[in-house]
Chain A
Amino acid sequence: DTAVSQTPKYLVTQMGNDKSIKCEQNLGHDTMYWYKQDSKKFLKIMFSYNNKELIINETVPNRFSPKSPDKAHLNLHINSLELGDSAVYFCASSQVAGKTEAFFGQGTRLTVV
């Protein structure tokens, strides 16, 4: 059983398209996160939800919109994809925001062509 799972693992799409990445955790955690890893391997927080409430919203273009239908799921929708959005996106979860161990999904490699 995968603790934090993301789909799809790979996503290749054209500029201007809209795409979604889904994340689910079966750990019973209250907090979920989206991180972006750029081509230099730098990992940066994008969003975090705690019990379906947005608690972190870093400086991210409005084209990115997270949605948390319940505390086990956090999806990321991206509108009007741009070349610069190409990256690996990681979902993560932890029991208590910022204070307990976080576990990461396997990542979604997004390539915009």
Chain B
Amino acid sequence: GIQVEQSPPDLILQEGANSTLRCNFSDSVNNLQWFHQNPWGQLINLFYIPSGTKQNGRLSATTVATERYSLLYISSSQTTDSGVYFCAPTGGGSNYKLTFGKGTLLTVNP
């Protein structure tokens, strides 16, 4: 199955800083999603982005499917951005499942 690597595994920022989270995957993809798991455990959809670039407020994401990576940008970070960020692609062909990376644990300090 598809392999997913996220980096960095941990990231500590001061409020207001910018950051880039990376997701590398080993195969072609039909689908790729970024999620934020907040400290209460909820999995929140950030982006559905099998290719291209999308922006939503302070967050944006870019997937370059041909080079098998996706990036999540967080600008002007806030303490509420803390949590775990997961990348989850679905492999090509008849693969039906999202395969999750191990996540990036982000801590934003005031």
Contacts and interface: CB of A to CB of B under 8 A. Distances in A.
B41 A98 contact: no
A106 B41 CA distance: 7
Nearest to A97: B96
The winner among A31, A100, A102 for most chain B CB atoms within 10 A is A102
Nearest to B94: A98
A107 interface: yes
Summarize A's interface: helix, strand, loop or mixed.
Answer: strand
Interface stretch (A13-21, A39-47, A63-71, A77-85): A39-47
B93 to A, nearest CB: 9
A101 B43 CA distance: 13
Contact of A48 (B37, B45, B96, B102): B96
Given A104-B43, A107-B43, A98 B103 contact: no
Nearest to A9: B41
A54 B99 CA distance: 18
A99 B100 contact: no
Given A41-B84, A41-B103, A56-B97, A101 B45 contact: yes
A102 B33 contact: yes
Contact of A98 (B31, B37, B43, B86): B31
B45 A88 contact: no
A80 B31 CA distance: 36
Interface of B: 30-31, 33, 35, 37, 41-43, 45, 48, 84, 86, 88, 90, 94-100, 102-103
21 contacts: A33-B98, A41-B37, A41-B84, A42-B100, A42-B102, A43-B100, A44-B100, A45-B98, A45-B99, A56-B97, A90-B43, A92-B98, A97-B96, A98-B95, A98-B98, A99-B31, A101-B33, A101-B45, A103-B45, A104-B43, A107-B43
